[in-house]
Amino acid sequence: MQLKGKNAVITGSNQGFGKAIAQEFIAQGANVLICARNEQLLDATRLELSKKAAGFQKIYACQVDVADRESLYRLYETALKKFDTIDILVNNAGIYGPKGAIEEIDWDEWAEAIKINLLGTVLACKIFIPHFKNNGHGKIINLSGGGATAPLPRISAYAASKAAVVRFTETLSEELKGTGVDVNCIAPGPLNTRLLDEVLEAGMEKVGKTFYERSLAQKQQGGTPLAKGAQLCVFLASEKSNGITGKLISAVWDPWNELPEHLDDLNNSDVYTLRRIIPKDRGMDWGDV
């Protein structure tokens, strides 16, 4: 039980990947506060998770809209009231936003996706960090994904917001050096969740032929198991990952269980970060001044 006695807050956790994270945290002994916008589904999920918890564990739910400032402050106050102290924050809440060419999409929908995916993550960190710093420890896990590391045509709000979350995480880790607070991003892999269903419902015309066909194949093949990314979250929330911070870690491609053995390399390099590629990085003999 790697998280026994730890108190965790997980946003966007009434279904899909957020729910899977909550399940893994509970299996590892954590007390969990789940939150999301849909109160009915949230309550049903809390009851389901409570049945899987041990007698010593506490499972709570709080209706929250991460795009709303007052809602996030209320989440923090609720967490403190329920737990007295908070050890882990997982910023999982997110949406794809509008799908289509940038000149065709609804601007308000595009801005709303940035508000949820990026500003909701940043504000949650801002609110919880003083508590973590005061305690001398804390774990923050932000959700990124494939949209951060490669162009994602016709789903630009998602791509831009997730890339921004990674750079914010890298920057925040520098601000938090020496505080005992670790902050990382994860890429959980291609998941078969409601976001995938949204893409398929939008159709090829809106999301593009390549992305649509890739998503259809993912749906048929099953995608990455939700538990794989959730287990990475357990690792990053546990003391095993102490000192690993400011990284974007893939649940599928990176040997994350072995990372504690390479802590010096991680702390003294730009491994698992977003960086600009120059010609010599690709074996080209031009571009140097």
Domain boundaries, the chain: 7-189+226-254, 191-223
CA 92, 132, 12 angle in degrees (round to 5)? 15
pLDDT of the residue at 8: 98
pLDDT tens track for 57-84: 999 999 999 999 999 999 999 999 999 9
Of 132, 11, 130, the residue nearest 67 (C-alpha):
11
Average of per-residue pLDDT across 138-159: 91
pLDDT tens track for 214-265: 888 888 888 889 999 999 999 999 999 999 999 999 999 999 999 999 999 9
Q: How far apart are CA 19 and CA 7, in angstroms?
A: 16
Q: How far apart are CA 64 and CA 206, in angstroms?
A: 30
pLDDT of the residue at 210: 86
pLDDT of the residue at 134: 98
pLDDT of the residue at 98: 95
Average of per-residue pLDDT across 201-211: 85
pLDDT beyond 90 at 202 = no
Q: May I ask the CATH architecture of the domain 7-189+226-254?
A: 3-Layer(aba) Sandwich (3.40)
pLDDT beyond 90 at 181 = yes
